[in-house]
Amino acid sequence: MDHKAYIAERLHVAGVETQEIYASLAVPPDTSLGDYALPCFKFAKVLHKSPALIAEELAQAFPTDGVVSSVSAVNGYLNFKMDRMHLFETFWAEFTAAEMESGYGSSDMGGGKTVCIDYSSVNIAKPFHIGHLSTTVLGGALYRIFNFLGYRAVGINHLGDYGTQFGKLISAYKRWGNREEVERGGIHAINDLYVRFNSEATEEMEAEAREYFRLIESGDREANELFNWFKSLTLSYVGKIYDRLHVTFDSYCGESFYIDKIPAVVEKLKEKGLLVESRGAQVVDLEKFGMAPFIVLRSDGASLYATRDLAAAFYRKETYGFDKCLYVVAYQQNLHFQQLFKVIELMGEPWAKDMVHVAYGMVSLEDGAMSTRKGKVVWLEDVLSRCVEKAKQILSEKNPDLGDKDGVAEKVGVGAVIFGALYNNKIKDTVFSYDKALNFDGETSVYVQYTCARAASVLEKLTDTPFWSGENVQPNEREFELVKALASFPDTVRAAAENYEPSMIARWCVDTAQIFNKFYIECRVVNAETEELRRFRKTLTETANRTLRRALGLLGIGVPEKM
């Protein structure tokens, strides 16, 4: 039930549309004031009365009932208090109905529309470092959130599998590497070869690398065998990390996939008269729009990253017929995407407006930017294993008799890593430190998981108690706050999708867990004063537990029953 609509329909302000009233309804800063509020200041001019007077008159005229229990005018605001029991009834009705279907908070607002999400996009032969975390967990969360809201999400891992660096890699491998070593050392062994090449490269070696890259492109058997070997090593390596982070993809079409689709796009650019020569290169001039030119073909005729992205955009539109296409990529590439989207627009494609760059902030280390060459890198698997290790250690201290310690520690440790990357607004830069990563206190997933474990522990003792079924109880402040927090979950999920901001869900988790813990401390459930109260509180505990679990699940974080 839409309470705002209920209020708006019953509120009549001369010369003001119900729609506008609906949109103006806000939430007061303090619950004691009310549950909804209408600021009356903007009506003052039209009605030629003071806001305070308008609010008072409206308060007098408003018909209170079993839904809106009281209305009051304070400082030009019209405050509405909802009937607590009614609020809980409608919440519980919606919750049970939704849980029978796809879960509370889900909806069909997407109507099956397709959203392509380009995220993570690993580079072949490069291990996963802490800088890859954001795109991976942000994209993974958006993927789940959009599906939850009735969209059809298509996860795309736009592999970095094309470029002269792979020529360098083959050159380095043939020079210093061997099969046993790479099989033993995996992706790090490959990366070491690449790093060594870059530090020792001479003119001749660079030329050799270019030649090897040419061989890959021209279909040379040995070069391609090596390259495909590196590729499969990389994919099985990242696959393990994706499994731990609960991230999935529907497509692994990388850059090389689009090479043969470039000529058609170039042809289209020519047809539209957009392609001009500049300093030997083929470019789209964007000076009118205050941007550097978009280089389509280098002066030697080769394609660029941008060209492949352009071809990929057209391919995705044709293949998936998306209604939205998201690129979860750091803000470093702001200009690139502005150019890309502008070029698509200039080509006359109406879907240019559906392209969205979901930009996020950069990660650095405490002593500056990361640098693979200088060895200043933090590998993601190290962070994961250290967090899981710490979780295991705390577990054996606090809960030595717990079964499946490994499974629980994995959920706690990995969850903390994911949550840490999703808790703040995505645009903020972050400085990685093990101190922060290993902190399980305060506003963390561990706190939320612990809250769920507490709730589960209560519920375990109440298996014979039925759920609330209409008994009249008067919710107290704690219970009421909890109901309101839980009832705000669907709106939170929607807002997270609209703003491409999973942190809104992460924030909701911590807020709601805090409210639950207050409820837990102050309100006995198992030994509640009456049977009705026990049922009511069991129901609250159940809905809190399930909704918190679902919320963390949307972020890719598992919740153990006990911890």
How far is the C-alpha of 468 from the C-alpha of 102, rounded, in Å? 22
**Residues 279-308: x where in contact with RNA by CB under 7 A, - otherwise, as a string:** xxx-x------x-xx-x--xxx-x-xxx--
Q: Which stretch binds RNA (CB under 7 A): 22-30, 133-141, 217-225, 264-272?
A: 22-30
**Read out DSSP for 139-183?**
HHHHHHHHHHTT-EEEEE---B--STHHHHHHHHHHHH--HHHHH
- Regarding 50 and contact with RNA (CB under 7 A), the answer is no
Among 8, 13, 21, 37, the residue binding RNA under the rule CB under 7 A is 37
Q: Looking at beta carbons only, is 33 or 109 nearer to RNA?
A: 33
Write out the binding residues for RNA, residues 80-139 only, by CB under 7 A.
123
Write out the binding residues for RNA, residues 196-235 only, by CB under 7 A.
none
Instruction: Report, in Å, the least distance between residue 2 CB and RNA.
Output: 14
Instruction: Report, in Å, the least distance between residue 399 CB and RNA.
Output: 5
Q: Looking at beta carbons only, is 284 or 325 nearer to RNA?
A: 284
Among 17, 20, 26, 183, the residue binding RNA under the rule CB under 7 A is 26
**Read out DSSP for 407-437?**
HHHHHHHHHHHHHHHHSS-TTS-EEE-HHHH
Pair type for strands 114-118 and 36-39: unpaired
How far is the C-alpha of 306 from the C-alpha of 263, rounded, in Å? 14
Under rule CB under 7 A, how many of the chain's residues touch RNA?
A: 99
Q: Which stretch binds RNA (CB under 7 A): 228-236, 378-386, 421-429, 551-559?
A: 421-429
**Read out DSSP for 316-353?**
HHHHH--SEEEEEEEGGGHHHHHHHHHHHHHTT-GGGG
Look at residue 500 and give its three-state secondary structure: coil
Among 194, 212, 341, 447, the residue binding RNA under the rule CB under 7 A is 447
Write out the binding residues for RNA, residues 330-359 only, by CB under 7 A.
331-336
Q: Which stretch binds RNA (CB under 7 A): 90-98, 163-171, 198-206, 264-272?
A: 163-171
Instruction: Report, in Å, the least distance between residue 383 CB and RNA.
Output: 16
Write out the binding residues for RNA, residues 481-510 only, by CB under 7 A.
495, 498-499, 501, 503-504, 507, 510
- Regarding 33 and contact with RNA (CB under 7 A), the answer is yes
Write out the binding residues for RNA, residues 520-559 only, by CB under 7 A.
520-521, 523-527
- Regarding 450 and contact with RNA (CB under 7 A), the answer is yes
Q: Which stretch binds RNA (CB under 7 A): 169-177, 228-236, 342-350, 444-452?
A: 444-452
Among 160, 177, 502, 558, the residue binding RNA under the rule CB under 7 A is 160
Q: Six-digit token pair at 358?
A: 């979901």
Angle at 371 between CA 369 and CA 377, to 5 degrees: 90
**Read out DSSP for 206-229?**
HHHHHHHHHHHHTT-HHHHHHHHH
Q: Which stretch binds RNA (CB under 7 A): 24-32, 131-139, 310-318, 551-559?
A: 24-32
Q: Six-digit token pair at 438?
A: 């290993």
Q: Which stretch binds RNA (CB under 7 A): 94-102, 242-250, 389-397, 463-471?
A: 389-397
CA atoms lying within 13 Å on the CB side of residue 462: 25
Region of residue 348 (left: phi > 0; alpha: psi -120 to 50; beta: else)? left
Q: Looking at beta carbons only, is 152 or 394 nearer to RNA?
A: 394
Which value, to the nearest 10 degrees, does the dihedral of the CA atoms of residues 113, 115, 116, 119 take? -160
What residues are paired with 284 via a beta bridge?
275, 294
Sign of torsion over alpha carbons 383, 386, 389, 394: negative
- Regarding 164 and contact with RNA (CB under 7 A), the answer is yes
Identify each DSSP E strand in 232-350 by its residue range: 275-278, 281-284, 294-297, 324-330
- Regarding 14 and contact with RNA (CB under 7 A), the answer is no
- Regarding 61 and contact with RNA (CB under 7 A), the answer is no
